[in-house]
Structure 1
Amino acid sequence: MTHVAPAPHEFKANLNFVKHGLSPYWALSSLLIDQYDGYADELEFQLQGEMWEVRFSYNSGGIAPRLSDPINSETLLEPKVHLSGDGERKADYHIRPRFAGMQTPDGDRINTPFDRGSMPDEGVNVRIQGSNLEHDEYAQLLPQAIRRLANEAGNGFNPKYIQPRNIHETSNCDEYERYARLRRSMNQKVIGTGGVLQKLHHLLVDQEGVKYSLDVDNEDVVGKMHKLPLRRSAARELPVGNRGKQIKSYLLKNPNSVDETDSTYHPKFGVLFRKSLNGSTVPWSDLDDLRRELDETIINLLYWSGVPTDPDHTTFVPDDHFDAVAHNGPTLRLFDDPTPQLEASQDALLIRQLRELTDSDMEHLRAMTDGGQMHYEEVVGEAETSVSTLYRTLQRCDALLESDNGVVRWRSKKMRQDIKAVCERVEDTVEAAADSAARLMGMDPQQLREKGSAFQSWLNRYGAELIENDHEISQSAHIKVEAVLSRYRSGSGEFIGKVLDYLEVCWAKAGFDKPLDGTLVEYNTGSGYEEIRIGSFKDQRIR
């Protein structure tokens, strides 16, 4: 299947060079000061077949020179090379000296990787910030630009100093964004009600470990800016990689400044890797893998939104840097939409939790349904209970609620909405499920509590219920399981065969009159329901 090729956008990285120590730094500093008097602009060089405007300058920096350094200044200057190419293709290079034991002029220690025993004592760091270039272009353009600056001044510069092949393994990337430009009409499928951003926010963003929420700005026009940052804990719920990412759909800052004939009238849809969402950078050597992950995330989010992913200009709008052509690199994988399974898992969790609630638990949950969070004193006051009772509720309902510094909040917005719906429909449901199970099995509810606690625990654990036959009293039972189970031992969910083995033990302990053989078990696969009858050939083959 052919997919559109996303394009690069924002990029930030660090390149470290150690093979020649500080020699590249001293050579570049000498070129800048001695040949260009510290500044040069309005230079134009052809690099890799493209014309680039070049600016050569420096920052004063904050690194104190060593006594042995050939410089009479409080700080070491830090050369900068700025490149501007076609359209918005830009690359900023900030070249900084690195050596063990660096200090500020005030004597404060500056920690760098060069303080580690495994690193050489000296080297050069190049801080890169740019846009609309592929990541390998940044490493290729810098040595070419420096060599042209040296040639322009009639000087030489060792071509081996800052070559891509000499990039050290500690080099890394902390921001990388890729994007496609969608027509506004198509973008509504992504950002609108029921779109993939809303669904992911609804199911993931309030889970433990995720601190952000969907940021929506429709002030000037619908779709001006929609951002959904997902930390690794949330991103791992998606099948496309496990790195934390920010999903973005955005228009110009002044979206009404252009009309439909301008490509920028239509929004960019991008995915951004950011260090702050992961707690770590990506090694430079892994950037091909990161690029593929970002591209696959874009394509799959569009696919899950019902947006065609082939390079059709009725869907995508070419701009100066996004060509809207077919992807020709390694195959981009398509995955099934995970949101139905995520929702099914949360539904099963909710069912299991509801079956274990006390009356006071329900009062606390009912008090919490009007908002996402409340102070514990407000919850107790609203429910007319005590702090100790609320504490026990928080222990029992830890899958639904969490408490931090006296503030009680829902772990998931979906959980809050579903509980609110339950509270609106049913007032006295705490014992209803157990009573129904007892009646269907021909037992007194008290008898079930005394003898069938293991079976009731099985029902609770898997969000299961006994289904009543509307037409006649059946000699065999019908059990519906809401928890998502796997047909295979190696699947992502709990294996159905193991669950049935556990059911057999619990059934025997309960002493039911009805035999387990012949019982119909209907279980959730995440994409639908399957049936299996206990004792059948299918059951024996699975177990």
Structure 2
Amino acid sequence: MRTLDLAAHEFDANLHFAENGLNPWFGADALVKDADGSRSAEFTHAGEQWVARLSYRDEGGLLPPTGGVTDGGTHVEHDTIREFSLKVARHPDEDPVGKQDFTAHISPRWAGLHAENGDGDVVEIPVPPTLQNDGLNVRIQGSNIEFTRYLDLFQTAARVLGFSAGYFETPAATSNITDAEKYARVHRDSSGPVHGRDGPIASMAHLLENDRTGYRKLVQNDTDEKGENLAGYYHTATLDAERLGEAFPGHRYPKEVKHYYAREAARLDPDNPLAHPKVGASLQHSLLEREQTVYYDDLVDLERELDQTVLSVLSDAGFDVSPGNMGGSPYVKNDAYWAPSTSERGPDPIQLDLTRIRQEQESVVVRHLTDGLSPIQWESLDMLVTDGGEVSPQDIAEANDRHVGSVRRALRAMEELVSRKYGEVGLRSDYVAEMVHDAVQDAREATRTAVETSAKAIEAAERGASDAMAEWVAWCNRHGVDIRNRADALEIDLGEFDGVTWSYNGLPSTVSHRLKTAFEKWEAAGQDPERFRQAVVKFRANGVDATRRAWKALR
């Protein structure tokens, strides 16, 4: 299947080189000294012109090895341990925007390496096992370059600057990636389904995994730094690997999925590509498990996951991710670093099926609520949706004066709604929590209404009113029917009706039925039928407000 090729954006990696010990570091020092502080060169790569510059980097406080000799046996006679910056950028004639570049920060490494920080404290620098016997850490930070090109561009730049051709050949196994992002730029008039309330970004944050475990963060900011409103300005869902697993089976890495604009987007002409948002996905290194590392050797798998995430989000929002004709596509064609195209190399998008996940969770909630819940189960759900901290069965039992065994039995009967782990209880997902919260609120309201209804009926009876009048009052309260006595005419508000079909006489059958029932109970209570017929009837059907005269509706 041909799918949309995505653009590479940010990239950050630590490449470890140990084959030549500290020799490349000594070489960098000699090259810069010979060139009086910096050395520049130009080269061609894949038919493109690039420029490179090697210079000293601001001192990072690294200290010489004790006794001038590293544990790996290398003699270091330098009083100052300098670090180096190798800047590689596309030639300005070919990159007028000036954002296609990277910096390689070259630092020596050996076992027991120390540094002095800004406060004067001496701290030890962690050194990976592959560099214990001396080597280099080369931190590459760049943007708008295909991920697989960085190493080759760095090696080529090093050679033209004068490094030995044998240096920087093969990164060590501990080399790792800390940031990577892929994106597509879409037209702002088409991107609403991505960041909308029911779009894939919001849905992923609300539906996946337990509401009290793992990590999720939803940001929905529609105001830029100047205070101007721009729908979808910065919308992101950040999820750990556990939560992402439900939507993307087999994915291993935590990510941030985002829809975002450039800071100045609101004030730009629509012909400017920066006036249109990016839809992207990036690695979230901070959410990796303690023992987990994204190794440089995992680059292909990481890029596949990022591509698949973006393509799946676009597809879920209704975008064609394998367009045969780019002419009428919603993708922005004049992005400085991306021209929309398709190829066979990309992964097929995953059907997110967030609707399926939502429907499954809804059916679980509905089934439990319609089957009827015991008082203990209602108390448990009430506490879970109102308490934001950690909740245990013991907490629920103590708060409601129940035996903890009874609470545990009640929770076991609701395992599709709640998860129990290590003495803690939580609702299955944030979406389930929202539905249960609404149900609990409805139950509270129903209880309050029942109490008010009973009180009004008792009050009517105590005033000597008939049973029929008490029944009329109770019926109105039960169905939310509001009666207002106006000077000119009675006003009857029948409430809201959803999912109704309008009949031939312009009135939904459910509305007509409720009105006729109200009229019957009004008459039975001994009230004036003509006043009811002349009443103004109000209701809301399928979100639309409507008004009728009662006598027309009762015909």
8 Å CA contact retained: 2:201, 2:258: no
Q: Gaps (5+ residues) in structure 1?
A: 151-156, 430-543
What is residue 4 of structure 1 aligned with on the other side?
4
8 Å CA contact retained: 1:245, 1:272: yes
Q: How far apart are 1:47 and its partner, in Å? A: 4.3
CA distance in 1, matches of 2:154, 2:263: 31
Partner SS, residue 15 of structure 1: strand
CA distance in 1, matches of 2:246, 2:234: 24
Partner SS, residue 121 of structure 1: coil
Q: How far apart are 1:100 and its partner, in Å? A: 1.9
After TM superposition, list the pairs within 5 Å mapping 1:402-421 onto structure 2. Answer: 410-421=427-438
After TM superposition, list the pairs within 5 Å mapping 1:334-349 onto structure 2. Answer: 334-347=349-362, 349=364
Change (3 A) 1:375 1:277: closer
Letter in 2 for 1:211: Y
Letter in 1 for 2:112: G
2:331 equivalent to 1:327: no
Q: Encode CA deviations 1:109-143: one digit per residue, 9 max, x unaligned.
A: 322113x7xx6611111111110111221101112
CA distance in 2, matches of 1:72, 1:310: 57
Q: How far apart are 1:61 and its partner, in Å? A: 2.1
What is residue 223 of structure 1 aligned with on the other side?
232
Q: Encode CA deviations 1:344-375: one digit per residue, 9 max, x unaligned.
A: 44245436765684303313434665x57379
Q: How far apart are 1:240 and its partner, in Å? A: 5.3
Q: Encode CA deviations 1:390-437: one digit per residue, 9 max, x unaligned.
A: 993695567656899x998755232223224434566899xxxxxxxx
2:85 equivalent to 1:80: yes
Partner SS, residue 191 of structure 2: helix
Q: How far apart are 1:232 and its partner, in Å? A: 0.6
Letter in 1 for 2:351: D
What is residue 49 of structure 1 aligned with on the other side?
47
8 Å CA contact retained: 2:218, 2:236: yes
What is residue 105 of structure 2 aligned with on the other side?
94
After TM superposition, list the pairs within 5 Å mapping 1:183-202 onto structure 2. Answer: 183-202=187-206
TM-score (norm 1): 0.67
CA distance in 1, matches of 2:405, 2:261: 46
What is residue 18 of structure 2 aligned with on the other side?
18
What is residue 64 of structure 1 aligned with on the other side?
63
What is residue 279 of structure 2 aligned with on the other side?
269
Partner SS, residue 8 of structure 2: strand
8 Å CA contact retained: 1:229, 1:277: no
8 Å CA contact retained: 1:191, 1:223: yes
Q: Encode CA deviations 1:168-223: one digit per residue, 9 max, x unaligned.
A: 22212121100001111221111112211122122127634332221011012001
Q: Encode CA deviations 1:444-463: one digit per residue, 9 max, x unaligned.
A: xxxxxxxxxxxxxxxxxxxx
TM-score (norm 2): 0.66
CA distance in 1, matches of 2:298, 2:103: 22
Give the number of equivalent residue pairs: 412
Q: How far apart are 1:388 and its partner, in Å? A: 6.3
Letter in 1 for 2:434: Q
Q: Gaps (5+ residues) in structure 2?
A: 70-74, 224-228, 447-555
8 Å CA contact retained: 1:372, 1:410: no
Partner SS, residue 60 of structure 1: coil
Letter in 2 for 1:363: E
8 Å CA contact retained: 1:373, 1:407: no
Q: How far apart are 1:308 and its partner, in Å? A: 1.3
Of 252, 255, 259, the residue aligned with 1:245 is 255
Change (3 A) 1:221 1:64: same
CA distance in 1, matches of 2:365, 2:142: 46
Q: How far apart are 1:35 and its partner, in Å? A: 1.6
Change (3 A) 1:5 1:375: closer
What is residue 176 of structure 1 aligned with on the other side?
180
8 Å CA contact retained: 1:205, 1:213: no
Of 371, 376, 387, the residue aligned with 1:360 is 376
CA distance in 2, matches of 1:113, 1:391: 53
Q: Encode CA deviations 1:224-282: one digit per residue, 9 max, x unaligned.
A: 11110110111111235422111011001122231111111110000111222323332
Change (3 A) 1:241 1:302: farther
CA distance in 2, matches of 1:108, 1:28: 25
CA distance in 2, matches of 1:82, 1:100: 28
Letter in 2 for 1:317: V
CA distance in 1, matches of 2:391, 2:173: 50
After TM superposition, list the pairs within 5 Å mapping 1:133-144 onto structure 2. Answer: 133-144=145-156
Q: How far apart are 1:340 and its partner, in Å? A: 3.1
Change (3 A) 1:14 1:391: farther
After TM superposition, list the pairs within 5 Å mapping 1:392-471 onto structure 2. Answer: 392=407, 396=412, 400=417, 410-423=427-440
Query: Percent identity, aligned pairs only?
Result: 27
Partner SS, residue 282 of structure 1: coil
8 Å CA contact retained: 2:177, 2:294: yes
CA distance in 1, matches of 2:399, 2:140: 59
Change (3 A) 1:78 1:15: same
Letter in 1 for 2:28: L
CA distance in 2, matches of 1:93, 1:400: 51
Q: How far apart are 1:291 and its partner, in Å? A: 1.3
8 Å CA contact retained: 1:374, 1:409: no
Partner SS, residue 126 of structure 1: strand
CA distance in 2, matches of 1:224, 1:298: 18
CA distance in 2, matches of 1:131, 1:391: 58
2:384 equivalent to 1:386: no
- Of stretches 91-100 and 339-348 in structure 1, the one that deviates more from structure 2 is 339-348
Letter in 2 for 1:340: T
Change (3 A) 1:229 1:390: farther
* Structure of higher CA gyration radius: 2
What is residue 37 of structure 1 aligned with on the other side?
36
8 Å CA contact retained: 1:7, 1:178: yes
- Of stretches 263-272 and 359-368 in structure 1, the one that deviates more from structure 2 is 359-368
Letter in 2 for 1:71: E
CA distance in 2, matches of 1:352, 1:178: 41
- Of stretches 94-103 and 417-426 in structure 1, the one that deviates more from structure 2 is 417-426
After TM superposition, list the pairs within 5 Å mapping 1:145-156 onto structure 2. Answer: 145-150=157-162
What is residue 517 of structure 1 aligned with on the other side?
none
Q: What RMSD over aligned residues (CA atoms) do the two structures have, in Å?
A: 3.6
Change (3 A) 1:140 1:401: same
